[in-house]
Structure 1
Amino acid sequence: MYDVIVIGAGPAGMTAALYASRSNLSVLLIERGAPGGQMNNTAEIENYPGFDTIMGPELSMKMYEGATRFGAKNEYGIVQKVVDHDTYKEVVTEDKIYQGKSVIVATGCVHRKLGVPGEESFAGRGVSYCAVCDGAFFRNKKLLVIGGGDSAVEEAIYLTQFASEVMIVHRRDALRAQKVIQDRAFANDKITFMWDSVVEEIQGNEMVVTGAKIKNVKTGETHIEDCNGLFIYVGLEPLSEPVKALGITNEAGWILTDDQMRTTIPGIFAIGDGREKTLRQITTAVGEGGIAGQQVFQYLEEQKVVPQGE
């Protein structure tokens, strides 16, 4: 019986494990892959305090060393479900069942993929899903932004401070973003639009992206659009399937919490990119992890039964 089981060893989960174990709690950290989560897919991180730049895998290992320094145990596992038994919780993986007095869910989310040839092979070499993370690497370059919602248009505007040209490629003939965001994009001289179009293939050489094959969905015509990078914003998908049966997610699957990272079930907390929130960054994940690690300690203190007469 652990004091707390942390599901997910991204920056949020590892920070929570650090804070909880520093409070002398017994901590189990369960991760389905290498510690670090999406940081491992980031070549260079330039917006994490304390470093001018640091490789994603390097920061992952530094965080992992800190997370396990005070006794937190790490185990590999793919979590299937979390069961609430009131005074304790069960975390069920493919081959084991773990018990804890509390659970912190830090499973994160994944970017919805286009699913076209070249997307996987050029990830990190011109294909990106985060303008804040990677925009500065494309100074004076031509970029394509795929999507037409709030995120796509906002990130296209953000990218114009680096790129020479940003082209928004959208499968419809009108944007879905809020009007005020659309107005900013239409007023930006660096932004152009390609309507009724989808990316069919991402092309490049051995090193980087050089262009994309684009199809007009109304005419069926295709052409190659030269570019130096693609930023894809066709949606995010929370990795919240193991906790959906608990009723702590919204209709889209995002986990709902208060500002202390507490869900509606006592003893179950949620942090990181799987939460319903606006900014998904390493810094926000770390902050939430610290809050949750401390809140778990407070929760367990409140659960202690003091014998009568003491």
Structure 2
Amino acid sequence: MDSYDIIIVGGGPGGLTAGIYAGRQGTKNLILDKDLAGGIGREVPEMENYPGYENISGLKLTEIMKTQAEKNTEIHEFENVLNIEKNDDGFTVKTDKNEYLTKTVILATGSSHSHLNVPGEEEFLGRGVSYCATCDGLFFQSRDIIMVGGGNSALQEAIYLKNLGCNVTIVHRRDEFRAQKHLQNMVKAEGISVIYNATVEEIKGDMIVESVVLKDTKTEELSEMKTDGVFISVGYIPHTELAVQLGVNLDETGHIIVDKEQKTNVEYVYAIGDVCVGLKQWVVACGEGAVAATSAYHDIKQG
């Protein structure tokens, strides 16, 4: 059974950064990701707030980081971690392909898209319903679509879809956006239509999406709106199954609680990125990855 100093579960921005820092410290490390490295960060259409780049897509930045990380750590993509057990020498990490021993674990398990949980959402997934503008936007050029949500991701994707040539309308359940002001200004500048105080109650169609049922959150009046597609960006659900197995403490929202060194309440277990309490930003995850890898290194040396 292969043995490592640090195993990082998840190859998103935080996990890749942790791998870079861990490798440069001279430890033996492994990143395990159930999919492609980068996670949902690959779906970000463009970023204007990542230091060093005036504008870069999540996919492009992921590939740059992955290339750098591969010089410092092993990366196993499409290898899903099923279980992590504490043992006398550290931890046994069991995947769907192998088992590994490690002295420390960094949980960078990220999050997945929240769903609306309305009729038609699952039925029309891939047939007009999407959670990824960069994945599916090209299919909707010159067509009418709605973007559901009011945070940074929703507005970023709405702008991206508009620039692709889609006819975009944002549907938001409140009377104002939660997104950063510059994104709100860009939505106005692009002339993107917005329906405030509305929720999607049902997604309708025959073989593909044809319309949505909207409810006015103030009057509760229902109306039907024709659309060719529904893009959904209403938040994320942290992946904490492995954390729960290990007895890691979560907060009331289901996120992992860590200290300033990214340590959890379980010795030699650290957590970073969207699975943790805190600001959900690419640059934050990278910083946390650097801190966690350094903390793990020091703990190994002192232990």
3-state SS, counterpart of residue 49 of structure 2: coil
Aligned-residue sequence identity (percent) comes to 26
Quick one: distance in 1 between partners of 2:148 and 2:282? 16
Q: Is the 8 A contact 2:45 2:133 kept in 1?
A: no
Quick one: distance in 2 between partners of 1:202 and 1:25? 54
1:222-277: per-residue Cα shift (whole Å, max 9, x none)?
Answer: 321679986632x4211111221222123543111011100011110000000011
Q: Shift of the alpha carbon at 1:112?
A: 0.4
Quick one: distance in 1 between partners of 2:80 and 2:65? 21
Q: CA RMSD in A?
A: 3.4
- Aligned counterpart, 2:130: 120
Number of equivalent positions: 267
- Aligned counterpart, 2:142: none
Structure 2 gaps of 5+ residues are: 138-144
CA shift in 2, pair 1:265/1:41, >3 Å = same
* TM norm structure 1: 0.73
Q: Pick from 44, 62, 65: which aligns with 1:63?
A: 65
- Aligned counterpart, 1:215: 214
CA shift in 2, pair 1:111/1:301, >3 Å = same
3-state SS, counterpart of residue 185 of structure 2: coil
Aligned partner of 1:123: which letter?
A
Quick one: distance in 1 between partners of 2:172 and 2:75? 41
- Aligned counterpart, 2:55: 53
Q: Shift of the alpha carbon at 1:288?
A: 0.6
CA shift in 2, pair 1:284/1:155, >3 Å = same
1:275 is aligned to 2:285: no
* TM norm structure 2: 0.75
Q: Shift of the alpha carbon at 1:154?
A: 1.6
Q: Write the mapping of 1:135-146 to structure 2, written as runs, cut at 5 A.
A: 137=160, 143-146=169-172
Aligned partner of 2:45: which letter?
A
- Aligned counterpart, 1:306: none
CA shift in 2, pair 1:6/1:283, >3 Å = same
Q: Shift of the alpha carbon at 1:46?
A: 2.8
Q: Is the 8 A contact 1:16 1:290 kept in 2?
A: yes
1:289 is aligned to 2:293: no
Q: Is the 8 A contact 2:13 2:62 kept in 1?
A: yes
Q: Is the 8 A contact 1:20 1:297 kept in 2?
A: yes
Structure 1 gaps of 5+ residues are: 169-191, 204-208, 304-310
Quick one: distance in 1 between partners of 2:220 and 2:73? 61
1:82-130: per-residue Cα shift (whole Å, max 9, x none)?
Answer: 2122540121212422110000000101120236232228733364761
